Structure 1
Amino acid sequence: MPHITTSAGPIPTAPPCGPATPGFRPNWGLAAVLVLAAFLLFYNLGQRPFWQDEAETACLAKSVLETGLPYAYDGVNVVSQEEEREFDKVGGYLWRWSPWIQIYLQATGFAVGGLNAFAGRAPFALAALLAVFWTYRLVARHFGDRTWALMAATLLTLCVPYLLIGRQARYYAPGTLFVLWTLDAFLSDWQRRAGPIVAMFGGMILLFHANYLLFLSFAPTALAAALFVYPEKFHLRRLSVLAGATVAVAVVPGIMLYRIGRQSGMFDILLVPENLMLYFADLSMFCIPLPISVYLAWRWRRFFTRLERPAEAGERFVLFATVLIVLSLLFLGLVPQRFFRYIAHLLPLCAILLAYLVRRLWDFSKVSAVMLFCLLAFTNWLAVYPMERLKIVNRPWQNDFRMLTSLNFPIKLFVTELVCGYPDVNTSIIDFFKTNAKPGQTIVAEYGDLPLQFALDGVRVVGGLQGPVPADVRPDWVLRRRVVRVNRDRFLFGAREFTDSLDLTRDFERVPLPLPDETFGNRTDDPNHHYFIPVEAPQKALEIWRRKEASQ
């Protein structure tokens, strides 16, 4: 194989594409990966009920099925997690806080499969499956290396954080797919052809309406990364038209529709250093192991000091992906709230990067390449162990040693949960109130109010993060949770204030329940908090109180 000498040393070029052969030639490797991905994404997809954030989307999707638009009030319950900032009551409770694509995707799932968790999550799992295919397609199409493409798709398929967000009824998987779509178009001949630039425009529009924070963290950072790594690809006139059209069609109307300006007041400069530290910890723990980051920084040291770019096309794209990832994290550090889900769309790029390193290592040492691939695909040792040795691991205090923040075989944990199930706290809560609560009764729930709203018909559910509990509320049931929550101003949420004001021992009786009170339930969007195997006793039991006359 021929070699190209760059400032970073000799590297082998990607193997050329073989000559086209007539007729259809099945790609059995890709087919096997997609079948595996489909199993991991769809199997037992409805085994856990919607957790709080998913249930927000689900309640709004029910409104879409009834009215055609996402309204946050159905005549009984109000959908809110931001103390009723998400809508104007005088405007009919029209949802104006987050973009609507995820709502309409979930409504489509409900229309096809009914009002259940599997149907509500299926469109998002399908988007995650398409993203696995698009990861393969992007590499194979633009760099002609099917082995690299197949390894990238395989690493993404076996990436447990990606599987967790792919099984979530939120914007994460569609947003990831739109990012890949846009990058695929960028690598095409958009400077001269109409098709790729139209595809880039469509990708940007869809990305904005999937989640405008995702759009804002991706579009400018991708542009900056391209300017650094691919300056020859710039066509100023076409780029100006693309940017102007995107702003005119998506950004300006979106600012008014989603009232983006109202959320700008959350910015807090004091949070930026901590956010950056935690994002880079998450990147090292779940995306790109620290030793690999150190190696890449050394290999590309002349790019970072002199802007000397690799000559080989594959390595140059991997460098572009790395710069994009770093710039995205720097941008997201400015956002006051920090969640792993904000970087989930970067996971395919991480898989492509890691697969590239394995592919190049294969040309020097096949045994070493196989060992590296197995470490990356089946363990998290390379990610967690260096962080622990350096004492910079970010492990939440409540975690145990069977979670992704400890040395483990992640895919084994994931499959164990799929096959054996998990006693989700929202399942316990929903089953209890389906059996005991009657239509017309009122439940005050300190958290988990939205899963109850979705699951119960004719029962009023208040509390959660909705804000102050209305003065006229006389609850028949009270659900107290072990975690005390405060709002953005560090004051108690209204639900806790309200339950603290009640004389529970006088007016209510506690229902004895041996069910553990976990914090979130199916919070699959954060690998720091996801439980695959139930935690042993002792655990604090769910605290449910029933008004005394309600039990007579």
Structure 2
Amino acid sequence: MPISTTTAGTHPAAPPQPGSPGFFARLDWGLVVVLLAAAFLLFYNLGQRPFWQDEAETACLARNVLHSGLPYASDGVNVVSQEEAREFDKTGGYLWRWSPWIQIYMQAAGMAVGGMDTAPARFPFALAALLAIFWTYRLVRRHFGDRSWALLAAILLTSCVPFLLIGRQARYYAPGTLFVLWALDAFFSDWQRRWGPFWAIFASMVLLFHANYLLFLSFAPTALAAAALVYPERMAWKRLGLLTLLTTVVAVVPGILLYRIGRQSGMFDILLVPENLMLYFADLCMFCIPLPVSAALVWRWRGFFTRLRRPDDPGETFVLFSAVLIVMSLLFLGIVPQRFFRYIAHLLPLCAILLAWCVRRLWGFSRPASVMLFILLAFTNWLAVYPMERLKIVNRPWQNDFRQLTSLNFPLKLLVTELVCGYPDVNTSIVEFFKTHAKPGQTVLAEYGDLPLMFYVPGLRVLGGLQGPVPPGTVPDWVLRRRVVRVNRDRFLFGAREYTDGMDLSGRYERVPLSLPDETFGNRTDDPNHHYFMPVEPPNKSLEIWRLKEPRS
């Protein structure tokens, strides 16, 4: 595999060849194999685990879209809320105004075509993840002319289990990632002189805003700053001003009003910034770019960091741009009060491109070392986890649990094991229990997991969760208590736990004997720190379900 010396824009066009090769002759069969493998990992048993709480929130809203055309938080019986009823105005018909709507309508589209089930609802998002893998390949191949680098990037993204986990989830993560790739592709397509790429960037920014405005706010300004530092010659300032104006008028200003973004600014807490930055740095090293690779690149690019001296190779310059964009995004996200891995998931293709470039570059110096690096990056997490553990940068109580990505293991093996063998998800246990034992019209007070119940068990009135205070005098037919005690943003108990603590459970209710383990989240795949691939071994706490005693005659 010789090092490619072809770069975009450095060679004259090739002379016309007689005839034109057929479609199959032009097809990159290596890419086809990668996409087939990715399709299996993304679509196989897509409905195996039910929606967890956040996915079920979107699913309930999507179901209401199919009934009324708009995402209302109430269907007349149950109310969808995880922010103590901050997400809507009751006087305004319960219209959802907390988070953007693209994920809701994508899920509704999947349900409209495939039925009111888990797999169809997740299908559009898995498809977006598959397209993101293709666009990662396309971005490198089209603009830098290196097929090997492009193929390695697609392989590394396909083997990235955190990316596969978010790609299999019915949330904004995969669509947001795809919109970021579209924007970058258009940026490198001579947007300074051509209107097609200009409008492609504009459309990508509008879609990204309505996928998740936090992704937009963390990507757009940091990408602009990174481009100004690394690609000053590509900054067409007049067009950039027009692009900013159009995006602001079409997306940002209406979005601020529709999603009431200002009401969420009160959650800012400057005291959380240092901890957020530390944890984002840990996530970056554990799941995205291993610490030894980052250290080597910082040393290699020390001339840029001290004198803004760019590499001569256009491909390496793009990798530098990607690294600067990633770092700036993390710095921006550090000021956001809530910290989740899902907020950096859209950067995973750039991480794959960066790592693939390292493998490709190392090939010219030592082929065995390049192959070894590729194997470590694609099939193990050893290079990511082991240095962190040795340096004691990350010290999690579950760090030695082989069921998770926070220990030394083979991530793809863990994922395939889960897909093929299944997993006893806690939400499956809850849903199946109430499907079997609860009657339509009965009331369930659930401390958590209320939204999966709303979606999968129609006919029940479901209270509790993170909805806010339970109406005084409520006498539920069923009570579901969870082992994790949850507090709201003000550090007070959520209403459901506060209410159940004051109930006479032992007097008016009888506990149902169960041996079903009570996990915290179930299929929470948006954070690789929390996802289990194999069942937890005993001992574990069982689900606590109480049934209202029948009145004596």
After superposition, what is the alpha-carbon deviation per residue over 1:62-114, rounded to whole angstroms, capped at 9, x for unaligned? Answer: 00000000000001000000000000000000000000000000000000000
Q: Which residue of 2 aligns with 1:271?
A: 272
Match in the other structure for 1:298? 299
Contact kept, 8 Å, 1:121 with 1:168, in 2: the verdict is yes
Show the counterpart of 1:111.
Answer: 112
SS in 1 for 2:220: helix
1:521/1:551 Cα in 2 relative to 1: closer, same or farther (>3 Å)?
Answer: farther
Q: Would the aligned equivalents of 2:183 and 2:200 in 1 still touch at CA under 8 Å?
A: yes
Aligned to 1:52: 53
Matches within 5 A, 1:354-369: 354-369=355-370
What's the offset of the Cα at 1:402?
2.5
**1:296 Cα offset (Å):** 0.5
Structure 1 segment 129-278 matched on structure 2, within 5 A: 129-278=130-279
Is 1:536–2:537 an aligned residue pair?
Answer: yes
Which whole-Å CA distance do the structure 2 matches of 1:477 and 1:423 have between them? 22
Cα distance in 1 for residues equivalent to 2:470 and 2:175? 35
Does structure 2 conserve the Cα–Cα contact (< 8 Å) formed by 1:445 and 1:464? yes
Q: Would you say the 8 A contact 1:511–1:544 is kept in 2?
A: yes
Task: Write the distance in 2 (CA, Å) between the matches of 1:286 and 1:536.
Answer: 25
1:549 aligns with 2:550: yes
Indicate how the Cα distance of structure 1 residues 551 and 465 shifts in structure 2: closer, same or farther if over 3 A, else same. farther
The CA deviation string for residues 262-315 of structure 1, in whole angstroms up to 9 with x for no partner, is 000000000000000000000000000000000010000010010001111000
CA displacement at 1:396 relative to structure 2: 4.7
Deviation of residue 399 (structure 1)? 6.7
Given the superposition, is the C-alpha separation of residues 201 and 396 from structure 1 closer, same or farther in structure 2, using an over 3 Å criterion?
Answer: farther
Specify the alignment match of 2:386 in structure 1. 385
Where does residue 465 of structure 1 map in the other structure? 466
Asked if structure 2 preserves the Cα contact closer than 8 Å seen for 1:396 and 1:528, the reply is no
Q: How does 1:481-496 map to 2 (within 5 A)?
A: 481-496=482-497
Distance 1:394 1:528, change over 3 A: farther
Give unpaired runs (5+ residues) of structure 2: none
Question: What's the CA shift for 1:12?
Answer: 7.7
Q: CA deviation at 1:403?
A: 1.1
Deviates more, 1:190-199 or 1:472-481: 472-481
Contact 2:399 2:407 in 1 (8 A): no
Distance in 2 (alpha carbons) for counterparts of 1:398 and 1:438: 42
Contact 1:281 1:394 in 2 (8 A): no
Note closer, same or farther for the CA distance 1:396–1:135 as it changes in structure 2 (3 Å cut).
Answer: farther
Asked whether the equivalents of residues 476 and 550 of structure 1 are also in contact (C-alpha less than 8 Å), the reply is no
Partner in structure 2 of residue 8 of structure 1: none
The residue number in structure 1 matching 2:347 is 346
Asked if the contact 1:287–1:350 (Cα under 8 Å) also holds between the matched residues in 2, the reply is: yes
Identity across the alignment (%): 78
Q: 2:483·2:541 contact (CA, 8 Å) conserved in 1?
A: yes
CA shift, 1:38, in A, is 0.3
1:379-435 Cα offsets, whole Å, 9 max, x none, are 000000000000012535487222100000000000000000000000000000001
TM-score in terms of structure 1 length: 0.97
Match of 1:7 in 2: none
Aligned to 2:522: 521
Q: Would you say 1:289 and 2:290 are equivalent positions? A: yes
Partner in structure 2 of residue 31 of structure 1: 32
Q: Superposed, which structure 2 residues align to 1:420-431 within 5 Å? A: 420-431=421-432
Residue type matched to 2:81 in 1? Answer: S
Counterpart secondary structure, 1:444: strand
Question: Unaligned regions of 5+ residues in structure 1, if any?
Answer: 3-10
Distance 2:155 2:500 in 1: 49
C-alpha separation in 1, matches of 2:524 and 2:223: 29
Provide, for residues 313-367 of structure 1, a one-character-per-residue CA deviation record: whole Å limited to 9, x for no partner.
Answer: 0000000000000000000000000000000000000000000010111111111
- In 2, the alpha carbon distance for the partners of 1:72 and 1:472 equals 24
Give the corresponding residue for 2:337.
Answer: 336
CA displacement 1:449-489 (0-9 Å, x = unmatched): 00000011111000000000111421000000000000000
Alpha-carbon distance, 1:170 to partner: 0.1
Distance 2:332 2:397 in 1: 24
**Contact persistence 1:125–1:168 (CA under 8 A):** yes
User: Which position in structure 2 is the counterpart of 1:504?
Assistant: 505
Contact 2:125-2:171 at 8 Å conserved across structures: yes
SS of the residue aligned with 2:253?
A: helix
Equivalent position amino acid for 1:313 in 2: P
Question: What amino acid does structure 2 have at the position aligned with 1:221?
Answer: T
Cα deviation, 1:4-60, whole Å, max 9, x if unaligned, reads xxxxxxx98457899586223221100000000000000000000000000000000
CA distance in 2, matches of 1:396, 1:117: 32
Equivalences for 1:89-100 in 2 at 5 Å? 89-100=90-101
Which digits, 9 at most, give the CA deviation of each residue in 1:212-244, with x for residues without a partner?
000000000000000000000011100000000
2:545 aligned partner, one-letter code? I
- Whole-Å separation in 2 of the counterparts to 1:364 and 1:232: 32
Which residue in 2 is equivalent to 1:5? none
Q: Which moved more, 1:490-499 or 1:401-410?
A: 401-410
Map of 1:6 onto structure 2: none
- SS of the residue 1:479 aligns to: strand
Alignment match, 1:68: 69
Structure 2: how far apart are the matches of 1:84 and 1:399? 39
Paired with 1:39 and 1:363, the residues of 2 have a C-alpha distance of 33
- Provide the TM-score with structure 2 as the length reference: 0.96
Q: Match of 1:376?
A: 377
Q: What one-letter code is carried by the residue in structure 1 that aligns with 2:426? A: V
> What root-mean-square deviation, in Å, do the aligned CA atoms of Structure 1 and Structure 2 show?
1.6
